[in-house]
Amino acid sequence: MQLVFGDLLGLGHSTSSFGFTLALVITFFIAIGALVNGLVVYIIVQVLAERRENNARIHAYDQAHPEL
């Protein structure tokens, strides 16, 4: 990922420490941020799906046992 952003911005073509620093900053803020955001969205989707299944199971149980 660092190489992709480095090529887009023209980084890595010189041995300056600024280029390496900027490439690392881009890697940490964009690549790791995107990964974390993706994981958070995945977790939220899984939690909502589990909640929907639990509510359906509770509703089915209540329909099968109306005396409770």
According to the model, what pLDDT value does residue 19 have?
Answer: 79
Q: How far apart are CA 63 and CA 14, in angstroms?
A: 71
According to the model, what pLDDT value does residue 29 have?
Answer: 85
pTM, two decimal places: 0.60
Q: pLDDT means per 10 residues in the chain (68 residues)? A: 57 70 86 93 98 96 86
According to the model, what pLDDT value does residue 37 have?
Answer: 95
Q: How far apart are CA 56 and CA 3, in angstroms?
A: 48
According to the model, what pLDDT value does residue 12 have?
Answer: 55
